[in-house]
Amino acid sequence: MKLTTTRCRDGAGAQVTIATRIPAIAQPLLEELPGSRAVALDVSDLASVRAFCADWSGPVDALVANAGVMLLPTCEVNAHGWETQLSTNYLGHCALVPGLRSRRPGTPAGSSRPCAQPAAPTPGT
């Protein structure tokens, strides 16, 4: 999905930023897609998320927040004391969206539902 999404956005003329823990891994893709760039971001590390947001400039027209891990063989905990799956799949994205919004007020940014404003309660629940 990530590769297809990147190719589609780049092909439509978008300036695509590939946020990845290891930007060098994206180099072959960058050669294929000249409208793209790769920058370091580890969503499991809140310091990395803060640095990414602090360095961001320009608009955010779309955000594909699809980094994730699952079925880790052991319970791993990151430097902040959070379990890796929780910090990668949820907390990092929930810090990234408002972090980007705070850099560019009024700029739309997409998110998964848990990161957005809470849904209205369902009647009868």
6 three-class SS: helix
Beta bridge partners of 18: 38
pTM above 0.95, yes or no: no
> Percent helix, strand and coil across the chain, each rounded to 5?
40, 10, 50
What are the backbone dihedrals phi and psi of residue 27, each rounded to the nearest 5 degrees, phi first?
A: -55, -45
Q: Which stretch of DSSP H or E encloses residue 18?
A: strand 16-20
pLDDT of residue 53: 94
Dist. CA 118–CA 59, nearest whole Å: 25
Mean pLDDT of the chain: 81
pLDDT of residue 48: 95
